Amino acid sequence: MKQKIRRLVCCCLAAIHIFTITVFAEPPVWPSDTGIQAESGAVIDADSGALLFGQNCVNTAYPPASITKLLTALIVLEHCELDEVVTFSETAMNHVEADSGNKYNLLAGERLTVEDCLHLLLLVSTNQAANALAEHVAGSIPAFVDMMNAKVAELGCSSKTHFDNPSGLNGDTQHVTAYDMALIAQAAFDNESLLKVSSALSYKINSTISYPDGFTIRQEHRLVSTTDPNNQLYYPPAIAGKTGYLMKAGNTLVTYAEKDGRRLISVVLKGSPNPVYFLDGKTLLEFGFDRFQNVSITDHETRYVTGEESIDIQGTSYLPSDLMIEPGRVITLPRDASFEDAALALEPLSGSNPPANAVAVLRYTYNDRFIGSAYLMTKESLSGVDVDLSISPGSNDSDPDESKRPGRSWFSRIHLPGTAAVAIAVLTLLGTLTASAVFWVLYSRRKEARELAARREARRRRLKAHGDEDEFERLLEMRKSREISPQKRRSSPPRKREPDPFDEFDDFPL
């Protein structure tokens, strides 16, 4: 019995040691091994806004070349209908570099719909279409460029990003960082009309001055257009994107992909010649899909929206029952991480056009990396409110490769990482088990002492029953005469135990 108890205590102590080592381990390291050959690259999650990988992507800007046209198309679609007619002016035709080309021999005086111009812009990168659209929207190319720079500021791009023209041709201050270009592409592909145009494999232009019977243009982004499974550029998740090239810029590429309910965007700047820069774009996307997961905020977050105590936000008191988290929002985590590994901060409203009932922003980080956000909103007046699901994600403070839970009491307001919370729970459980084991040891010892006393008393009774009373008294006196005090017992040297006169009765049944 004693051996079993000792084993139980040892097991509990060993478990405490093992679990202490396990639960206090650091969260999984953020993956970073892509091996792309381009000077700069990035891949973001289009739903959370998290930057999954970046190489020279935040602090270094490069000429974007024709991927600029994604921003041009976005601004056009925000100000025009697809069936509006665009007239090509002399300025639109001539405001290009001499060697920039005019593959379909467009001429001044062409009248094409906005939809036609957008397909020319995004599928085959027609510079004259970029100029014509700019004039149609803003009245002049310089005025449109002002709109472009205002838009990138609105999207949260850094001061390193700036545009000089709508086509992407060389400009003295036409530069973009890979991360900022990913933010631009995120906004662009959130526009359904732009996504539809950019994902088209072909498009028929009905008529131009040079081609009265029209002509068909075809997608030039090879990750989008390749249909041969044996081709190394075959990548079915790739849905849309834009290519670019200038001698100064090298090859540039933006790719939008969808897989297993997730949406990713990769950016390549200063890429190597074909097909390497396409493979870099594919590698970034595979990395993002394989190494990361999206986790629903509303399915896992209970802070600020549960409990009974009121919460103070920017000087206003709210009951948790009156608050809700913006639906549909996610955070992006490494595959082997959990929601509890994310840190949460409650931040004041920022950015443009928050929902009318938004009161704050829940901003999540993982080892100081931004991984997603959601509005904290009141439940009142939800009907008729157009909830904007595209919160500006902000940007990471540094290039990855360069490198509250308010509670209903003071204790629950302390933020604990998920691993620490698990550690406390496990240690509490093991502490309880250990305390139970100690109690059982003490209880067992007391029980054994009581049983021993009972057996001795039973022996005395049996002795009296099997012998005469005088014999019993004689043996009892013999026992007493051999007993010594505890103090004397401690000071006396050990000696061989003499037989107890009652030992002969130990085998009597109780």
**Which pLDDT value is given to residue 388?**
40
- pLDDT bin (cut points 50, 70, 90) of residue 16 is low
Q: Which residue has the higher pLDDT, 428 or 208?
A: 208
Q: Are residues 193 and 327 in the same domain?
A: no
State the average pLDDT over residues 220-248.
Answer: 98
Q: Would you say residue 29 lies in a domain?
A: no
353: pLDDT confidence band, cut at 50, 70 and 90? confident
Length of the chain: 510
Q: Write down the pLDDT at residue 25.
A: 59
Q: What is the mean pLDDT of the chain?
A: 83
pLDDT band at 17, cuts 50/70/90? low
Q: Tell me: pLDDT of 97 over 90.
A: no
pLDDT of residue 108: 98
Please compute the mean of the pLDDT values over residues 167-172 and round it to a whole number: 96
Three-state SS at 357: coil
| CA distance to 255, 265, 323, per residue, from 259 (Å) | 13, 12, 33
Q: What integer pLDDT is reported at residue 468 of this predicted model? A: 54
Range from 1-5, 435-439, 466-470 that averages highest in pLDDT: 435-439
Alpha-carbon torsion angle 4, 5, 8, 10, nearest 10: -110
Cβ atoms 280, 41 nearer than 8 A: yes
Q: How many domains does the chain have?
A: 3
Residues 411 and 444 in one domain: no
CA atoms of 391 and 333, how far apart (whole Å): 18
Q: How many CB atoms lie within 10 A of CB 343?
A: 19
CATH number, domain containing residue 142: 3.40.710.10
Bigger pLDDT: 420 vs 299: 299
Residue numbers of the domain that contains 179: 40-292
Residues 285 and 312 both lie in one domain: no
| Tens-place pLDDT, residues 32-55 | 989 999 999 999 999 999 999 999
Residue 329 burial by Cβ neighbours in a 10 Å radius (0-12, 13-18, 19+): buried
Last residue of a domain, one of 422, 439, 455: 422
More confident residue, 398 or 8: 8
Write the DSSP symbol of residue 240.
E
- For residue range 179-210, list pLDDT tens digits in order: 999 999 999 999 999 999 999 999 999 999 99
Kindly write down the DSSP assignment for every residue of 127-175, as one continuous string: HHHHHHHHHHHHSSHHHHHHHHHHHHHHTT--TT-B-S-SS----TT-B
Q: Quick one: pLDDT at residue 98? A: 77
Q: Same domain, yes or no, for 274 and 191?
A: yes
pLDDT over 90 at 348, yes or no: yes
Say whether both 242 and 94 belong to one domain.
Answer: yes
Whether the predicted pLDDT of 402 surpasses 50: no
Q: Are residues 253 and 320 in the same domain?
A: no
Please, which pLDDT band fits residue 420 given cuts at 50, 70 and 90? low
Q: Does residue 159 sit within a domain? A: yes
**Which is nearest to 183 in space by CA: 67, 275, 31?**
67
Residue 104 has pLDDT above 70, yes or no: yes
Could you tell me the pLDDT band of residue 257, with boundaries at 50, 70 and 90?
Answer: very high
* 57 and 188 housed in the same domain: yes
Whether the per-residue pLDDT at 117 is higher than 90: the answer is yes
Confidence of residue 101 (pLDDT cuts 50, 70, 90): confident
Q: Does residue 2 form part of some domain? A: no
> Are 135 and 180 in the same domain?
yes
Residue 18 maps to a domain: no
Rounded mean pLDDT, 493-506? 47
For residue 387, being part of any structural domain is answered with yes
> Residue 396 above 50 pLDDT?
no
Pick the last residue of a domain from 422, 445, 475.
Answer: 422
Segment 281-290 mean pLDDT: 98
Residues 497 and 392 in one domain: no
86 — pLDDT class (breaks 50, 70, 90): very high
Residue 458 falls within a domain, yes or no? yes
Same domain, 448 and 399: no
Q: Assign 100 a pLDDT band (cuts: 50, 70, 90).
A: confident
pLDDT for 483 beyond 80: no
Task: Please determine, for residue 137, whether its predicted confidence score (pLDDT) is greater than 60.
Answer: yes
Strand segments, DSSP code E, in 272-329 are 292-296, 311-313, 316-318, 323-325
In the predicted model, is pLDDT for residue 66 greater than 60? yes
**pLDDT band for position 380 (50/70/90)?**
confident
Indicate whether 226 and 116 sit together in one domain.
yes
Average pLDDT (481-494) is 51
> Above pLDDT 70, what percent of the chain?
69
CA angle (417, 300, 432) in 5-degree steps: 55
Residue 263 lies in a domain: yes
For residue 22, is pLDDT > 80?
Answer: no
Token pair, residue 34, equals 């892509």
Q: Is the pLDDT of residue 14 over 80?
A: no
Q: Which of 292, 314, 332 is the last residue of a domain?
A: 292
* Residues 154 and 250 both lie in one domain: yes
Q: Does a structural domain hold residue 128?
A: yes
